[in-house]
Amino acid sequence: MTSRFHADSFTAYSVSSHSNFEPMTLSTLDLLIIFIPLLLFMLLGILQRQKAGRSTEEFFLSGRQMPWWLLGISMVATTFSADTPNLVTDIVRKNGIGGNWAWWAFLLTGMLTVFVYAKLWRRSGMLTDLEFYELRYGGKMAAFLRGFRALYLGFFFNVVIMAGVLLAGIKIASIMLGWDTWLTLLVSGLVTLTYSTLGGLRSVILTDLFQFAIAMIGTIGAAIYIIQMPEIGSVEALLSHAQVSGKIDFLPDFSDPDQLWMLFIIPIAVQWWSVWYPGAEPGGGGYIVQRMLAAKNERHALYATLFFNFAHYALRPWPWIMIALASLVFFPGLADIQTAFPDIDANIINDDLAYPAMLTFLPKGLIGLVILSLISALLSTLSTHLNWGASYVAHDFYKRFVEPEADQKKLVLIGRLSTLFLMFSAGLIALYLESALSAFNILLQIGAGTGLIFILRWFWWRINTYSEISAMVASFLIALLLELTPLGNELSQGVSLVLGVGLTTLTWVIVTLLTPPEDKEVLWNFLHKVKPHLWGWKIFLTQNQLDPSIVKGKERFGLEISGFFAGVFGIYALLFGTGYTLYGQWLPAIFCWVVGIVAMIYIVRILRKMWAS
């Protein structure tokens, strides 16, 4: 029989039941489940150390021989971080399921990358995506841009991202294991550094395969157990609970103008194309491009990115969402979390803490698996960001500007030392963050307005180094203004984002039109190597009397756009079809499943035509 509690009475239950909470004592089985795989991950890195140390291409791209399915799993494992369930929990508790459009909207970015940009990146043959700057642009400004981005993204942005991941690990370990901050940082750093520093990207990708499987099994198992607990009993009982029923809509409350604009219209109409965010960069970038460049060929690069977007948006979210909804039953407010875990530092008490708090109810055996799944998610994200960031430091900064004649072994050593430094820096920054959502919002604001330039630079010949530099400077200064002045407190997050996008975009467009284009030879070499669509290059080709047939690719833009829309509608349909199935609403569930399956079949046909051309 399902037990239900009114909000007030259940608050009393949670306080009385957990006011003397002690960190759980793990059984021998739990400890074995946790630590044996961690030792195997470290062993894998040790076994791969010699092969990874042969060259930077081996260390950072695993020899460019990775199949699509392994790369796709690695991408999705990286984005399945320990802070991701915390972030989703934070969103659901504050804004309901519909609040997830803050990141669901990035599917549009992902599908654009799949059908338009994946093959272009692989065709470029670069070691890192930052080489793009000296392929697309020329002169000292292009070199400066590459070196600056190597440190700006590889260090600054990367460290902030990893700090958010480590913060989630700190919160999880403090609740579930009773560890203090420094012990969590020490253990996570030791394991991650062992296999990522020694084994390079191949070690990272292989461990991602096992870590993703473990993470999914643990998360699904936890969701099933929690929903079946006597305090809930079933999905139906959960959805009808007084604390939960107002949070279950897939779309925000459109009758509330604030929710309509902030949680749906801005993400779906502005955010996805205008904001640079790691893992969802407009046009692709960062570790997503690193995986594309490691693929066997263009086809494997495209398939890997397509699988990643399917798994990221349609396969993974619902176990997190269900646990987040259940947390509203057990811990309706922050005070309930604080009361249940009085030894937790009050400075880190936030809605994102409700996710690890829920996991403390799990039984022996399952709790070990879930802790391992969270550790795996943490390690997979950290290892990718460490290897990716180190590739920027070693290849795009050290080799390009410090020691151009450095041999391959020296560069691998620099990459390994950079990995150590990045990990240390991220640990320090983690001590100053408050929540995963705060880190997410900070990164969105800093990247606001830069996204469109990453989409158009492949196809519009007038974009130059000054366009890129002005976009970076403007977005950073605007973010700083909104963060440090009273204006930022007066504006909502959505208004701040739109303001940042508008001002930054206006700035770089004006700068582009007022500054000269890149040198003819640089642009021609870019076209000759990459062969993008030429609809934005016609003026350049006409002015310089160049034959477009020499640099024209065989792709058909109409097919790519059709694939984009089919992917967007199909994956959203599968996402909501799963939700309606859980809700027991069979008519909309069947409709969504049919739409999703038809869209996937259509995508297969589009891909066949693309490769045939």
The two structure tokens encoding residue 482: 């909104």
Angle between helices 465-484 and 436-446 (to 10 degrees): 140
Q: Residue 54 has what DSSP assignment?
A: T
Mean pLDDT confidence for 448-452: 81
| Higher per-residue confidence, 604 vs 429 | 604
Collapse the DSSP code of 128 into the 3-class scheme (helix H, G, I; strand E, B; otherwise coil) and give the result: coil
338, with CB counted inside 10 A (0-12, 13-18, 19+), is middle
DSSP 469-516: HHHHHHHHHHHHHHHHSHHHHHS-HHHHHHHHHHHHHHHHHHHHHHSP
The two structure tokens encoding residue 309: 């977007």
Mean pLDDT confidence for 400-424: 92
Strand partners, 275: 448
Q: Residue 362 has what DSSP assignment?
A: P
Sign of CA dihedral 222, 225, 227, 229: negative
- 132 phi-psi bin (left φ>0, alpha ψ -120 to 50, beta other): alpha
**Which amino acid belongs to residue 157?**
F
Average model confidence (pLDDT) across the chain: 86
Collapse the DSSP code of 295 into the 3-class scheme (helix H, G, I; strand E, B; otherwise coil) and give the result: strand
Is 80 exceeded by the pLDDT of residue 286?
A: yes
**C-alpha pair distances (Å), 422 with each of 142, 163, 202, 427, 558:** 25, 10, 19, 9, 43
Report residue 16's pLDDT band, with 50, 70 and 90 as the boundaries: very low
Q: Could you report the per-residue pLDDT of 179-214, keeping only the tens digit for each?
A: 788 888 888 888 888 888 888 888 989 999 988 898
Which domains are delineated in the chain? 7-446 (1.20.1730.10), 447-513 (no CATH)
pTM above 0.85, yes or no: yes
Q: Among 576, 582, 528, 569, which residue's Cα sits nearest to residue 552?
A: 528
Q: Among 445, 465, 530, 110, which residue's Cα sits nearest to residue 282?
A: 110
Q: Among 447, 474, 466, which residue's Cα sits nearest to residue 145?
A: 466
Report residue 228's pLDDT band, with 50, 70 and 90 as the boundaries: very high
Query: For the chain, how big is the Rg over CA atoms in Å?
Result: 24
Q: Could you report the per-residue pLDDT of 28-70, keeping only the tens digit for each?
A: 888 888 888 888 888 888 888 888 788 888 888 988 889 999 9
Report residue 12's pLDDT band, with 50, 70 and 90 as the boundaries: very low
**C-alpha pair distances (Å), 215 with each of 76, 79, 218, 320, 592:** 11, 12, 5, 11, 26
Residue pointed to by tokens 């570790």 = 287
| Higher per-residue confidence, 136 vs 165 | 136
Q: Could you report the per-residue pLDDT of 476-511, keeping only the tens digit for each?
A: 888 878 777 777 667 777 788 788 889 999 999 999
Q: Could you report the per-residue pLDDT of 349-402, keeping only the tens digit for each?
A: 888 889 888 988 888 888 888 888 888 888 888 898 999 999 999 999 999 999
**Rounded to an integer, what distance in angstroms lies between the CA atom of residue 153 and that of residue 135?**
19
